[in-house]
């Protein structure tokens, strides 16, 4: 597996949420009511038996707790760090209804899974060989979860990844104060510890090998290649030095080095979670002033409120209901020309103003990659997303898909759940069960 630069920029960050020690974990676990039909389980896309693993922590059975977590979600370690638990399991905790602090499920999950990783516990082994082979495109959470489940069921797996490093956005895109790239690569290695998963990096499917060659080599395919490049603003001056796509910039700071400490005025355009992450990362790397510029209101931004509150504590600024219409500067960005917008996000003429900026990150979305499979018979695409049914099946009986390339960009936990669900459908098909049917949105 590729080696990371030990001096990469993300190493400047430490954990935003400190982990529990043993006493803290046991005390928190003992607050749990161990609900029957627990709403926290329903809120988890991977349906981890949360009361069960918490009870095991309370009795000192950490190995059993970790097994319960990983049996449902093989990405239990990374999800403990990156899941928006405030709007998932923790947000659903019944303690919220009693005006009592909710159980810190993510921190308890991290406690158990971190010990499992430190001890290098392996809970799963490959099933008896079926003689069948599955090719998986993309080495992100969806494909890794799919491959791991397929190996438990005995199918040989080969993952094709165009980057030099696997892990998808867990490696290249997660905010480093939540999880660093080396931790993601450790997770990939741990997942592949089941054996029988071949990883081929630096491979761009569609050219070498072609889709036809890939289909000929495998009995089934799983598409988990995520999203594409940052969506541009498409305004004059965007080509100037100092204007970056936010996802590209975050990947550079996670895998290499970026210079931010001399930046006086940074502007992040967008109002989603990537924009908020970029704001916090710029502040953490030493940018003096960081402003999030969003065409909507604070109440209607798509980014999580708890993440924005943390950014405000760290010194972030915001400019609401503003739209950039041009990047200013000669060879390098010097500012943005903007217009105010109304409540329907329409520009208001006569409200033009200029905003100083020597660094601009654009975080308004990513390209969908559905066109990559345009030549595959039976694989439907709508608005750039691959169409699948509830089991991840496309309209081609040999092809399944999951993760961001089908859902348009959700959480790691969703991708992991979709990959595992597809694996079981693939297994049923390869074993002579129900064949793939026409996919739908």
Output the DSSP codes for 231-295: PP---TTTTSBTEEEHHHHHHHHHHS----TT-SEEEEE--SHHHHHHHHHHHHTT-SEEEEEES
- pTM given for the model: 0.94
Integer CA distances (angstroms), 441 to 330, 381, 383, 384, 419, in order: 46, 9, 11, 12, 17
Residue 370 confidence (pLDDT): 85
Domain extent listing, the chain: 19-118, 133-228+367-430, 243-362
Which CATH number, 3.20.20.80, 1.10.8.60, 1.10.1060.10, 3.10.20.600, labels domain 19-118?
Answer: 1.10.1060.10
Which positions ≥6 away from 137 have C-beta within 8 Å?
Answer: 143, 159, 160, 205, 214, 221, 222, 223, 224, 225
Structure tokens at 221: 């395919």
Establish whether domains 133-228+367-430 and 243-362 are of one fold: yes
Whether a cis peptide bond, with omega within 30° of 0, leads into 209 is: yes
**Closest of 5, 106, 119, 3 to residue 53, by C-alpha:** 106
Domain 133-228+367-430 bears CATH identifier 3.50.50.60: yes
User: Do 267 and 275 meet the contact criterion of CB atoms below 8 Å apart?
Assistant: no
Superfamily of the domain at 243-362: FAD/NAD(P)-binding domain (3.50.50.60)
Beta bridge partners of 355: 336
Residue 375 confidence (pLDDT): 76
Which positions ≥6 away from 350 have C-beta within 8 Å?
Answer: none
Residue reference for tokens 């003096």 = 288
Helices (H) and strands (E) in the chain, counts: 16, 15
Cβ neighbourhood burial of 427 (10 Å; 0-12, 13-18, 19+): buried
Cβ neighbourhood burial of 37 (10 Å; 0-12, 13-18, 19+): exposed
Torsion angle, CA of 43/46/52/58, rounded to 10 degrees? -90
**Closest of 311, 82, 290 to residue 176, by C-alpha:** 82
CA gap 215, 84 in Å, rounded? 37
Beta bridge partners of 258: none
CA gap 415, 45 in Å, rounded? 9
| Chain centre to alpha carbon of residue 224 | 12
Average pLDDT, the chain: 95
Residue 336's H or E segment, with its range, is strand 333-340
| Chain centre to alpha carbon of residue 69 | 19
Q: What angle do CA 359, 360, 363 make, to 5 degrees?
A: 145
CA gap 254, 174 in Å, rounded? 9
Radius of gyration of the chain (CA): 23
CA gap 149, 136 in Å, rounded? 12
User: Do 138 and 84 meet the contact criterion of CB atoms below 8 Å apart?
Assistant: no
Q: What angle do CA 9, 12, 14 make, to 5 degrees?
A: 135
Residue 208 confidence (pLDDT): 83
CA gap 155, 429 in Å, rounded? 12
Residues of the chain with pLDDT under 70: 1, 433-441
3-state class (DSSP) for residue 54: helix
User: Strand 353-356 relative to strand 333-340: parallel, antiparallel, unpaired?
Assistant: antiparallel
Residue 432 confidence (pLDDT): 80
Residue 417's H or E segment, with its range, is helix 412-430
**Closest of 312, 325, 318, 279 to residue 300, by C-alpha:** 318
Structure tokens at 318: 């915001």
Structure tokens at 437: 């049917």
């Amino acid at each position: 597996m590729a080696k990371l630069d030990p001096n990469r920029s993300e190493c400047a960050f430490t954990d935003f949420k400190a982990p529990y020690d043993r006493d803290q974990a046991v005390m928190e676990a003992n607050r749990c009511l161990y609900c029957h039909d627990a709403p926290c389980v329903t809120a988890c896309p991977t349906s981890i038996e949360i009361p069960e693993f918490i009870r095991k922590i309370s009795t000192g059975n950490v190995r059993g707790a970790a097994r319960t977590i990983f049996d449902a979600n093989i990405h239990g370690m990374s999800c403990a760090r990156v899941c928006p638990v405030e709007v998932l399991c923790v947000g659903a905790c019944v303690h919220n209804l009693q005006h009592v602090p909710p159980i810190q499920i993510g921190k308890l999950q991290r406690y158990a899974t971190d010990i499992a990783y430190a001890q290098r516990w392996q809970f799963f082994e490959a099933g008896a060989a079926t003689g069948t082979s599955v090719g998986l495109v993309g080495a992100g959470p969806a494909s890794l979860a799919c491959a791991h489940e397929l190996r438990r069921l005995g199918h040989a797996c080969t993952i094709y990844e165009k980057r030099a490093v696997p892990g998808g956005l867990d490696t290249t895109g997660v905010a480093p104060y939540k999880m660093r790239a080396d931790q993601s690569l450790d997770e990939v290695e741990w997942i592949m510890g089941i054996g029988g998963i071949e990883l081929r990096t630096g491979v761009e499917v569609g050219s070498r090998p072609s889709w036809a060659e890939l289909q000929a080599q495998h009995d089934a395919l799983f598409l988990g290649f995520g999203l594409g490049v940052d969506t541009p603003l498409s305004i004059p001056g965007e080509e100037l030095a100092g204007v970056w796509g936010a996802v590209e910039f975050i990947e550079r700071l996670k895998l290499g080095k970026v210079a931010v400490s001399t930046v006086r005025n940074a502007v992040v355009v967008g109002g989603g979670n990537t924009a908020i992450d970029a704001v916090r990362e710029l502040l953490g790397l030493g940018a003096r002033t960081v402003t999030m510029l969003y065409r909507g209101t604070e109440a209607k931004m798509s980014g999580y409120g708890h993440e924005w509150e943390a950014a405000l504590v760290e010194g972030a600024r915001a400019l609401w209901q503003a739209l950039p219409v041009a990047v200013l500067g000669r060879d390098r960005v010097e500012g943005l020309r903007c217009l105010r917008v109304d409540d329907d996000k329409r520009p208001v003429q006569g409200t033009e103003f200029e905003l100083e900026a020597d660094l601009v990150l654009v975080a308004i979305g990513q390209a969908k990659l559905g066109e990559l499979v345009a030549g595959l018979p039976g694989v439907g695409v709508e608005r750039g997303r691959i169409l699948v049914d509830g089991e991840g099946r496309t309209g081609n009986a040999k092809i399944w898909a999951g993760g961001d390339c089908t859902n348009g960009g959700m959480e790691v936990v969703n991708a992991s759940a979709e990959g595992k669900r597809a694996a079981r459908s693939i297994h049923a098909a390869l074993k002579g069960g129900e064949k793939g049917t026409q996919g739908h949105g």
